[in-house]
């Protein structure tokens, strides 16, 4: 179970860490540079401990263990952006009824889980596939099932990703459900279907578009705002001020994927500027190195980042070469 079918887990560790793993019966020999060999041993120890707890080990767990072993600690100042702090507790984990223990698969995911456990307002920022929304929902479900919060409120702005869908048929729920489907998916991954249905009907779990948040006070609740890059500054302020006594909030988004009309400032970008240094607010910045979906997703994110950087550089060069109309002194050419 540790080695994987046809030793594929060992092969993956060899590829990622640049070591050689030779197994003879129940003995495994690690060869390679000292740092890489130590990391490989830490990976194998971590995966073996996971198996002894009855938890599965697949390719995702192998990749996650490698990320954690290659960078086992992260300074909170880098992870949260709030100045110097203690050292990250990499062993943090969440327990959910359906998935069992959910553990971080990258150092930044561990920083994010720690921030969610310790702070009342956490911003998870970064590209798709880094687990921003998934881990926030997992934290919310863990707190709900242990009675630390009374309910979960999940929200996101109803903004299309480039399309114009027009008027959707059906009642209000049927109209907004397509926008909120990713939140439903995350919930069903944490809880049995009958539990999700029961808690939705009782109001313990509420899924609502952002427009319906005005005027509410959300106490003793874990509130998640997903796709926050598509809020306006006014919407973001309105949402953040809904926080009530005993409540917690997680705001997730990617400022490189803004679907607002041209010229409209993102409320997420605005909040990043305004809330820096505010007590109790934590910012966790993910990068393409934290992508835990298919490896192709990380390569796609990097390719788009390179293209965006090249376009920005070209625009700067064009601006530098531009000559004011009318000549150097503003005189009309003859």
Claim to verify: residue 245 and residue 96 sit in the same structural domain: yes
Contacts 24+ apart (CB under 8 A), 72-80: 72/42, 72/107, 73/107, 74/107, 74/108, 74/110, 74/111, 76/111, 76/114, 79/107, 79/108, 79/111, 79/112, 79/115, 79/284, 79/285, 80/111, 80/115, 80/282, 80/283, 80/284
Q: Quick check: is 321 in a domain?
A: no
Q: Is the pLDDT of residue 321 over 80?
A: no
User: Domain of 148?
Assistant: 76-309
pLDDT band at 312 (very low <50, low <70, confident <90, very high): confident
Q: Quick check: is 333 in a domain?
A: no
Weakest-pLDDT range from 57-61, 131-135, 149-153, 275-279: 57-61
Claim to verify: residue 107 and residue 227 sit in the same structural domain: yes
- Pairing state of beta strands 221-225 and 205-209? unpaired
Whole-Å CA distances, 171 to 119, 168, 175, 258: 37, 9, 6, 28
Q: Which of 70, 100, 120 is the last residue of a domain?
A: 70
Q: Is the pLDDT of residue 85 over 80?
A: no
Q: How many domains does the chain have?
A: 2
Q: Quick check: is 263 in a domain?
A: yes
Q: Is the pLDDT of residue 334 over 50?
A: no
Claim to verify: residue 44 and residue 179 sit in the same structural domain: no
- Predicted confidence at residue 169, as pLDDT, reads 63
- Predicted confidence at residue 159, as pLDDT, reads 62
């Amino acid at each position: 179970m540790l080695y994987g079918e046809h030793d594929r887990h060992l092969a993956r560790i060899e590829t990622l860490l640049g070591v050689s793993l030779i197994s003879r019966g129940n003995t495994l020999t690690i060869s390679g540079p000292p740092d890489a060999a130590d990391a490989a041993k830490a990976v194998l120890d971590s995966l073996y401990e996971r198996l002894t707890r009855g938890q599965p080990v697949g390719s995702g767990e192998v990749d996650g263990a490698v990320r954690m072993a290659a960078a086992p600690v992260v300074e909170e100042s880098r992870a949260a952006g709030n100045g110097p702090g203690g050292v990250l507790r990499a062993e943090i984990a969440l327990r959910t009824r359906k998935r069992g223990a959910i553990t971080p698969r990258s150092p930044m995911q561990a920083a994010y889980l720690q921030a969610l456990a310790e702070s009342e307002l956490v911003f998870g920022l970064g590209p798709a596939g880094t687990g921003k929304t998934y881990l926030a929902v997992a934290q919310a479900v863990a707190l709900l099932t242990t009675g630390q919060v009374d309910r979960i409120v999940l929200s996101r702005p109803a903004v299309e990703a480039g399309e114009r869908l027009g008027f959707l048929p059906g009642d209000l729920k049927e109209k907004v459900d397509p926008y909120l489907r990713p939140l439903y998916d995350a919930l069903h991954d944490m809880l049995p279907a009958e539990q999700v249905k029961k808690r939705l009907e009782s109001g313990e779990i509420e899924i609502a578009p952002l427009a319906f948040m005005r005027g509410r006070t959300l106490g003793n609740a874990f509130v998640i705002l997903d796709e926050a890059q598509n809020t306006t500054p006014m919407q973001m302020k309105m949402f953040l001020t809904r926080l009530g006594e005993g409540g917690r909030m997680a705001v997730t988004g990617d400022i490189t994927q803004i679907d607002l009309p041209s010229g409209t400032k993102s409320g997420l970008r605005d909040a990043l500027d305004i809330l820096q240094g505010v007590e109790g607010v934590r910012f966790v910045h993910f990068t393409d190195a934290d992508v835990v979906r298919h490896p192709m997703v990380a390569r796609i994110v990097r390719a788009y980042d390179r293209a965006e950087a090249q376009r920005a550089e070209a625009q700067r060069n064009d601006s530098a070469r531009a000559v004011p109309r009318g000549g150097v002194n503003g005189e009309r050419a003859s």
